Amino acid sequence: MDVVRQTVQALPEPGNFTVVEIGPGRGVLTAPLLERYADKFYAVEVDDDLIPVLHKQFPALGNRLIHQDFLKFDWRVLPEGDIIVVGNFPYNISSQILFTVLDEKDRVIQVVGMFQKEVGVRVISGPGKKDYGILSVLLAAWYKMSLICHIPPESFSPPPKVDSVVINLQRNDRKTLPCNQRVFKQVVKAAFNQRRKMLRNSLSSFQPNEETLTTDFFTRRPEQMSLEDFFAVTQMLEKKSE
């Protein structure tokens, strides 16, 4: 399948990192990944029925086939060092997978995954676009994001009722944020949870002082704010949250 080829091509040549596939299913993507990365490759599958199928199809995986819910995954079972996450992600938990990746951003250097189109577009959207949201901003702080390909329903059998996309997230060079990381996350979530309101209203719980409220940022709505703007607003508010 062309989608498999494009997904694998987006990944680097084998190196000093571990590749983890989420939800291998019947192993369509697993086969080329195992061939390419050998003992540097792990797969995480939650489905009880698929585990024996995958063990039979890929005996070389051995204990690197991990029977676990990725959202409860113990990252400590992986070798130390950098990690690349890849997969045709279950659409019902794809956003949660990305929040899990954010928690491990110091190790996860790349994510290549298939998403329902609406979710994928939301992830890579920038300011001014209607799909721009919480994940767009939080991920942009740590990753460079791009679209690899669009997949129409007829590419699958049976065809789903939704379009899909494959996107690529590559870790940027940022080691720390120019503001309090915890408060930054709170600010972004609060702003987009009331996305139709100006920031002066959606961020009122942070108790900004009158001088802060007179800045241009607080007359905007969240989709008008760049990543750097959110950094600046967080710097203004973080002392109130300490």
Q: Which of 171, 191, 218 is the last residue of a domain?
A: 171
Residue 56 shares a structural domain with residue 119: yes
Q: Would residue 153 count as lying in a domain?
A: yes
Report the C-alpha gap between 73 and 114 in whole angstroms.
Answer: 20
What CATH number did the domain enclosing 198 receive?
1.10.8.100
Q: Would residue 176 count as lying in a domain?
A: no
Residue 154 shares a structural domain with residue 209: no
Helix (H, G, I), strand (E, B) or coil at 166: strand
- Domain interval for residue 206: 181-241
Question: Tell me, what's the pLDDT at 170?
Answer: 98
- DSSP-derived secondary structure letter, 165: E
Report the C-alpha gap between 50 and 120 in whole angstroms.
Answer: 26
Residue 119 shares a structural domain with residue 156: yes
Question: Tell me, what's the pLDDT at 156?
Answer: 67
Residue 119 shares a structural domain with residue 223: no
What CATH number did the domain enclosing 75 receive?
3.40.50.150
Residue 189 shares a structural domain with residue 163: no
Q: What is the mean pLDDT of each run of 10 residues along the chain (242 residues)?
A: 87 97 94 97 96 96 95 93 95 92 96 93 93 96 95 74 92 97 97 96 93 92 97 88 51
Domain count, the chain: 2
Q: Which ranges of the chain would DSSP assign to H, the alpha helix?
A: 2-9, 30-37, 50-57, 94-103, 117-124, 134-140, 181-193, 199-202, 210-213, 227-241
Question: Tell me, what's the pLDDT at 155?
Answer: 73
Residue 206 shares a structural domain with residue 127: no
Contact 20, 78 (CB under 8 A): yes
Report the C-alpha gap between 177 and 141 in whole angstroms.
Answer: 8
Output Rg (C-alpha) for the chain, integer angstroms: 20
Residue 203 shares a structural domain with residue 159: no
Helix (H, G, I), strand (E, B) or coil at 211: helix
Question: Tell me, what's the pLDDT at 7?
Answer: 93
Q: Is the peptide bond before 152 cis (omega within 30 degrees of 0)?
A: no
DSSP notation for 25-65: TTSTTHHHHHHHHGGGEEEEE--TTHHHHHHHH-GGGGGGE
Residue 34 shares a structural domain with residue 102: yes
Q: Which of 171, 194, 225 is the last residue of a domain?
A: 171
